[in-house]
Amino acid sequence: MLQVPYIRENKDLVISRLAKRNIHAAEMINNVIAFDEDRRRIQTELDNTLAESNVLSKEIGNLYKSGQVQEANALKEKTGQLKELSKQLTEDLNAKTTELTELLYKIPNVPNEIVPAGSTDADNEEVFREGDIPKLHEGALPHWELAKKYDIIDFELGNKITGAGFPVYKGKGARLQRALIAYFLDKNTEAGYTEFQLPHLVNEASGFGTGQLPDKEGQMYHVTADNLYLIPTAEVPGTNIFRDVVLNEGDLPIGITGYTPCFRREAGSYGAHVRGLNRLHQFDKVEILRVEHPSKSYEALDGMVAHVKTILQELKLPYRILRLCGGDLGFTSALTYDFEVFSTAQDRWLEISSVSNFETFQANRLKLRFKNSEGKNELAHTLNGSSLALPRVLAGILENCQTEKGIEIPEVLQPYTGFKIID
């Protein structure tokens, strides 16, 4: 959530940067400033009313002590009026504060200055590419056909048990899935991230804290009886560890990692681009999160990007990195880099990771602060990234590593799988 003082002091910049998201924000921003002026006016009037009431209360006490009962009773009538006025002003202040907060919840984060303008993913900028696209043998198959051929993933069984988008991993497919999770976690902990096992359901406050609510309410599975939400990513419970926390500056930076299943109701469509593992309602993902000093968060973002690169280099998968344009940028993000792996059998790029800096946007919602060198509370910066999302990584391995003899397992994963080939 944007801070009101920042909006007031940078009105034109906020409006121009939000235009990168194709949002005409002038009216919203002007309303924020107007609501805040109303809120401050009411607050001032309330403070003055309470101060006057306190002064009169002391005066009444002195009048009673000196035997001036009639004068004291006259002032009591005045304090009664002031109490009624303060009650009304308090109600007005709460209503105006709620109105302002609800408006702020609707405003996305301000894109960083290097975010390109654009409307769709076609406007994203490719900033890096690495790895050779393999030449597959004649008759090479997409991963959903390979899954059936080698009996490692059963999409129809998942559909029977739950519905579309809930695959069942079997045999070497399940082992490979588990190997990827362990490998990703090991890489992350070796890089200094502390591993956490996190809840798979969160409360409403956690959803608001990281910005999934109210923006993505329709995309989350909701357990209505308990008002809990199945997590769309480990980012939500992981970042909420720090909700309502005041850190010491010396505590920064903080890095955590965790594996969780992820649940998303996002509507699918028909066609090869959503077949198999391309889009799921339940999938596994390993996440990395950072809490950083504002002066170092973009250096940390570069470090996270470099870290994910090393994983893909070890897996020997062809990949590219995109800087997302304003129209494709997530609601809470100031800057996002997407990683995509090339699916040779499908002849297309598949997104496998997003690495983002949210600056103070989440921290303001979370009330995540640290005491700076002057002893004052300051909002921290939060960052997160997939390291990595499993379905499309698995799809890339199955398709890019297929041979006429079977699917060769990347060397770095073989100590985790215990086998070298799926045949």
Q: Look at residues 5, 7, 37, 1 and name the one whose alpha carbon lies nearest to residue 25.
A: 7
Distances (CA, A) of 287 to 290, 310, 320, 352, 405: 10, 15, 19, 12, 34
Q: How far apart are the first and last CA of the chain?
A: 51
261: left (phi over 0), alpha (psi -120 to 50) or beta: beta
Distance of alpha carbon 72 from alpha carbon 407, whole angstroms: 93
Question: Half-sphere exposure (CA, 13 Å, Cβ side) for 285?
Answer: 28
CB 315, CB 413: distance < 8 Å? yes
Q: What is the enclosing helix (H) or strand (E) of 319? A: strand 319-323
Structure tokens at 387: 């390291």
CB 79, CB 60: distance < 8 Å? yes
- Specify binding-site residues for ATP: 264-266, 351-354
Specify burial of residue 334 (Cβ count, 10 A radius: 0-12, 13-18, 19+). buried
Q: Look at residues 372, 80, 120, 102 and name the one whose alpha carbon lies nearest to residue 215.
A: 102
- Specify binding-site residues for L-serine: 233, 264, 287, 384
Rounded to a whole number of angstroms, the CA Rg of the chain reads 27
Q: Look at residues 187, 142, 141, 150 and name the one whose alpha carbon lies nearest to residue 169.
A: 150
Distance of alpha carbon 343 from alpha carbon 402, whole angstroms: 11
- Specify binding-site residues: 233, 264-266, 287, 351-354, 384
Place of tokens 């991230």: 193
CB 381, CB 358: distance < 8 Å? yes
